Amino acid sequence: MDTLEHESAVIATGASWADTPLPQRAMLQYEVEQFLYAEAALLDARRYRNWLGLVADDIEYWMPLRRTVTNSDLDREFTKLGEIALFDDDHMYLEMRVKKLEAGSAWSEDPPSRSRHFVSNVRILDVAGDEITLEACFHLYRSRLESDVDNWIGRRVDVLRRTGESFRIAKRHLFLDHTVIQSTNMSTIF
């Protein structure tokens, strides 16, 4: 079962979440949204080490390629896990990216980019034990140097794992709306 099929199955079987009383659903929605907004603020402030503290040790951070396909081939629109991807990172690789950003050795980030992470349309799809599966839309705006501007827009599926009073990001699958990326690099953390 591929990622999109699994995510559709989660929606279809989310009866336990749907049966949760409204006040509890509203409180969890609020907590999740506040966590996502705080995460975006850390990234925009270039506080990458603090952001890494929000990431679970077993993170699955993945962005497949998107292809333009006909209606009969929609199941091939995105590459699958294990195939070529724009990002297929674990915690160790994210740690290396953060170290490069902190050390100033990432040539594509010197001078550093200015970014704004927008998160919207947050929908909790399922709650299973201490894990919350959600879908959200994102718009990442980045400006570099004097006139370089990039906009990445898409949706993502996250799994947040409750840890005490907060969460850790256990999974982030990013699905860009773009098939052609015109950016000179993708050194920004989504």
Q: Could you give the number of structural domains in the chain?
A: 1
Dihedral class, residue 148 (left if φ above 0, else alpha if ψ from -120 to 50, else beta): beta
Residues (pLDDT < 50) of the chain are 1-14
Could you tell me if residue 188 is inside a domain? no
For residue 7, the model assigns a pLDDT of 44
Question: CB within 8 A of 143, min separation 6: which ones?
Answer: 113, 114, 115, 149, 150
Model pLDDT, residue 15: 57
Domain residue limits at 170: 3-176
CA angle 89, 91, 13 (to 5 degrees): 75
In a domain, 39, yes or no: yes
Q: Which amino acid is at 60?
A: E
Residue 9 lies in a domain: yes
Cβ atoms of residues 93 and 63 within 8 Å? no
* 78 domain residue, yes or no: yes
Is 187 within the bounds of a domain?
A: no
Domain-embedded: residue 181: no
pTM: 0.88
Residue type, 81: L
Is 182 inside any structural domain?
A: no
Per DSSP bridges, beta strands 166-176 and 131-144 are unpaired
The enclosing domain of 46 has a CATH number of: 3.10.450.50
Q: What is the pLDDT of residue 2?
A: 47
